[in-house]
Structure 1
Amino acid sequence: MFVRNCFEVFDRCINWFLALLMAAMVVIIAAQVWYRFIHNDPLSWSEEAGRYLFVWISFVGAAAGVRYQVHLGIDLMDKLLPPNAYRYAIVVVNLIIQIFLLVIIYWGFKILGIIQFQESPSMNISMRYPYMAVPVGSILMLINSLRVMVAAIQNRTLDREVRI
């Protein structure tokens, strides 16, 4: 029960973080449109900030997609395979995904060490912050992939209802 409550808090934190990122991106892009077309004086940093927020939304959103199992899948396997075989297929697929994510996490942190002193052109922030979306999002995807795999092994399903 404690673990389930911790994961519920984990899911809500990811969902709120995504909501805040989306709100920030909408406000920044709206401000860019306002300043460009109404004031005829575009903001120099807004396009870059919107791009970096979009990268973060993509990776953290992918982690949420793994949790709620909304990524593209092959429904045919579910219909053709018996339930036990389908559960094993879920486990094998998630193991392959986890190996891939471990590689991405490793190289994502390696790249962070390489680009840590590079600055973004408009915002003058370290490029470490935009690039950090790759390993952070991959870690979140790995955690959620492990949750899906454990649920399949235990022959239970994760709740697919999104809660904020």
Structure 2
Amino acid sequence: MKDRLLKTSAVLRLISDASLWIAGLGLVAMTAIVAYQVYMRFVVNASPPWTESGSIMIMSWFIFLGAAVGVRENFHMGFDVLLYFLPAGAKPWLRATTDVAIFAFAAGMVFYGGELALRGWGVRIPVLGLPQTFTYLPIVISGVLMCLFSLERILLRAAGENVDDVDVDADATMTAD
């Protein structure tokens, strides 16, 4: 079972890396669109109407994908201050509690974001011509990824793998000396 978890973790690493690359490309694309909008507005004096809503939509995609990668890489919010004060045996429990809370929040993102996405299918974004679903789809996809990534951490920790951030433990040990 542990081998299967490690293989799944390798696949999730690839998904996380791909999400990070897509988010990075989205950031570059949004920057280019905003630069194009500024050029068109102030130099040509004819700003295209699609640039603002297009850049905002791209921004929501890279923010939510980046947040999902943050869960996988353990860059999310957690109980980090408590980690310095708790004994070593309590730290995995606190980190597991954080992962369960993230999973629950992400499941809510999937459920409620999915409802918004379904309701927006019949509504079109006027300047883009896309269904409004594309505005809410990043919430759902990010929620699914966050669920997968937090579940991965929970299962790997239960299997005895060290998935916790050892830097915090090392810093606490160094300051105790």
| Structure-1-length-normalised TM-score | 0.88
- Tell whether 2:127 aligns with 1:107: no
Q: Which residue of 1 aligns with 2:172?
A: none
- The 3-state SS of whatever aligns with 1:61 is helix
After superposition, the Cα gap between the structure-2 partners of 1:8 and 1:97, relative to the gap in structure 1 and judged at 3 Å, is closer
Return structure 1 stretches of 4+ with deviation > 2 angstroms. Answer: 1-5, 71-76, 147-155, 157-160
Residue in structure 1 matching 2:46, options 30, 41, 45: 41
Q: Which residue of 1 aligns with 2:37?
A: 32
1:87 touches 1:155 (CA, 8 Å); kept in 2? no
Q: Which residue of 2 aligns with 1:66?
A: 71
After superposition, the Cα gap between the structure-2 partners of 1:13 and 1:39, relative to the gap in structure 1 and judged at 3 Å, is same
Residue in structure 2 matching 1:156, options 162, 169, 174: 162
- The 3-state SS of whatever aligns with 1:118 is coil
Larger Cα Rg: Structure 1 or Structure 2? 2
Structure 1: distance between partners of 2:13 and 2:47: 42
Any unmatched runs of 5+ in structure 2?
Answer: 1-5, 167-177
- The 3-state SS of whatever aligns with 1:33 is helix
After superposition, the Cα gap between the structure-2 partners of 1:78 and 1:61, relative to the gap in structure 1 and judged at 3 Å, is same
Q: Which residue of 2 aligns with 1:140?
A: 145
Structure 1: distance between partners of 2:164 and 2:96: 14
Instruction: Tell me the CA shift for residue 32 of structure 1.
Output: 0.6
| Percent of residue pairs identical | 23
Instruction: Tell me the CA shift for residue 107 of structure 1.
Output: 1.6
Structure 1: distance between partners of 2:78 and 2:111: 26
Structure 1: distance between partners of 2:81 and 2:130: 47
Structure 2: distance between partners of 1:15 and 1:159: 20
Structure 1: distance between partners of 2:88 and 2:44: 61
Any unmatched runs of 5+ in structure 1?
Answer: none
Q: Which residue of 1 aligns with 2:8?
A: 3
After superposition, the Cα gap between the structure-2 partners of 1:159 and 1:11, relative to the gap in structure 1 and judged at 3 Å, is farther
Q: Which residue of 2 aligns with 1:82?
A: 87
| Number of residue-to-residue matches in the alignment | 160
Instruction: Tell me the CA shift for residue 159 of structure 1.
Output: 8.2
- The 3-state SS of whatever aligns with 2:84 is helix
Query: One-letter code of the match for 2:126?
Result: P
Instruction: Say which is worse superposed, 27-36 or 64-73, in terms of deviation.
Output: 64-73
| Structure-2-length-normalised TM-score | 0.82
Instruction: Tell me the CA shift for residue 44 of structure 1.
Output: 0.6
Q: Which residue of 2 aligns with 1:117?
A: 122
- The 3-state SS of whatever aligns with 2:98 is helix
Structure 1: distance between partners of 2:16 and 2:42: 39
